[in-house]
Copies of this chain bind each other. A is one copy, B any other.
Amino acid sequence: MNPRLFTFVGGNNGPWTVVRFQVVIGEPIPEPRKLEVINGPVSALPEGAHWALKGVTSNARYVEKDEKVQLDSKQAPLGRPEATHGALIPIRKNAQWWALTQNERRAIFEDRSHHTAIGLKYLPSIARRLHHCRDLEGSEPFDFLTLFDYAKEDSAAFDDLVEALRATEEWKYVDREVDIRWIRS
């Protein structure tokens, strides 16, 4: 088992209660009542589960050294006691994105969309973890599973962050996105 593998199960059971569910673009997935995340595989869909989405954490794909120094100095880990609120946002980018070369994607991602610069403004309030699923052996419905948590009072700030990213050139390449907000039960 890859230790960087995480499985998100959505259904009737789990420590997180879904409080908001929005199909932003593309094909929906069933709306769950509860969520759980397992560090590892799930051999079969548990009873009461509607779906399981898996992804692996991996190396940086766009972040550069100077940005990492800033990120490391400001960011907080997932699971802080005060971080009772969160989001799971699965995302898929289209074929045009994936056909672009590394510097073309970097130019869109940062030079023009300022993905990291925007995100830095929300640290340490918003904690995050990115999981990749485009290169798993099965045919996965999304390319990325993005996970966030924050304190209740930072929920509005998280909305601002998501709105800012969705307005960027990078987001023109997103062809499937579901936005699931949860609170720790």
Contacts and interface: CB of A to CB of B under 8 A. Distances in A.
A1 interface: yes
A86 B65 CA distance: 38
Given A59-B100, A61-B61, A132-B135, 19 more contacts: A1-B139, A2-B137, A3-B139, A4-B135, A41-B137, A58-B134, A58-B135, A59-B99, A60-B101, A61-B102, A63-B102, A64-B103, A64-B104, A65-B103, A65-B104, A68-B101, A102-B106, A135-B135, A136-B137
A111 interface: no
A181 interface: no
Contacts of A134: 58
A5 interface: yes
Interface of A: 1-5, 41, 54, 56, 58-65, 67-68, 98-104, 106, 132, 134-140
Contacts of A68: 101
